[in-house]
Chain A
Amino acid sequence: AQSVTQLGSHVSVSEGALVLLRCNYSSSVPPYLFWYVQYPNQGLQLLLKYTSAATLVKGINGFEAEFKKSETSFHLTKPSAHMSDAAEYFCAVSDILTGGGNKLTFGTGTQLKVEL
């Protein structure tokens, strides 16, 4: 079964600094990978997704992620953090199920704090 591991449950950066949130995946087949963001008391919003079309994926709000097969990684980055980026970020992999269907396996999440 596919799985993802997020390194660092809490990350703190200064406003304007680089944001780097780490995600490693485990999959026996080419994975479909996603980054979601969750603001307090809200559901999850898709930031970006990798579906094998391009290794560098650009998402909303200035975020991007690079798929590196050799490192089994899909780290999320943003060049300059903004206070509004403070939220919890989840990496997820789509399970390929016999018979089809949607099922995401999520990492444990990384809480991003942005300080002045």
Chain B
Amino acid sequence: KAGVTQTPRYLIKTRGQQVTLSCSPISGHRSVSWYQQTPGQGLQFLFEYFSETQRNKGNFPGRFSGRQFSNSRSEMNVSTLELGDSALYLCASSRTADHTGELFFGEGSRLTVL
């Protein structure tokens, strides 16, 4: 059974650019969540999608957005990149949409903003 796949794994951007990250969940999983991981702030919740609807959103500026497609694949976009956006972006999928389910994480997309 294939795991959560994130692309690209590594990317370098400059300030002011935008970036789109992709996540393919485990087959049959309809919930996709995104987390940002940095040395200073740790793991922070960005948003969660279930059946193409954003259910929950973390405390991030509007430059961070996402969407989910009918096949449950998800993308997140960051516009007008800032140096502080450099981070590992982790995607996680879950079969359920309640709080009792476990999350399966991808290996992440490491974004460096210069």
A102 to B91, CA, bound (A): 12
Partner of B43 from the list A95, A99, A101, A106 (CB cut-off 8 Å) is A106
A99 to B57, CA, bound (A): 12
Q: Given contacts A100-B99, A103-B48, could you give 7 more A-B pairs where the C-beta distance is less than 8 Å?
A: A90-B43, A94-B99, A96-B99, A101-B56, A102-B48, A108-B42, A109-B43
A94 to B96, CA, bound (A): 13
Residues in B with CB closer than 8 Å to A42 are: 107-108
Residues in B with CB closer than 8 Å to A32 are: 99-100
Residue ID in chain A nearest B106 by CB atoms: A43
Residues in A with CB closer than 8 Å to B101 are: 102
Cβ-defined contact, A104 with B45, below 8 A: yes
Residues in B with CB closer than 8 Å to A104 are: 33, 35, 43, 45, 103
Residues in A with CB closer than 8 Å to B97 are: 100-102
Residues in B with CB closer than 8 Å to A108 are: 42
Count B interface residues, CB 8 Å: 28
Partner of B108 from the list A43, A51, A96, A101 (CB cut-off 8 Å) is A43
Residue ID in chain B nearest A45 by CB atoms: B105
A residues 64-111 in Cβ contact with B at 8 Å: 90, 94-97, 99-109
Partner of B56 from the list A34, A97, A106 (CB cut-off 8 Å) is A97
Residue ID in chain A nearest B54 by CB atoms: A101
Cβ-defined contact, B99 with A106, below 8 A: no
Q: Mark A33-68, 1 if CB is under 8 A from B, else 0.
A: 010100001111110010100000000000000000
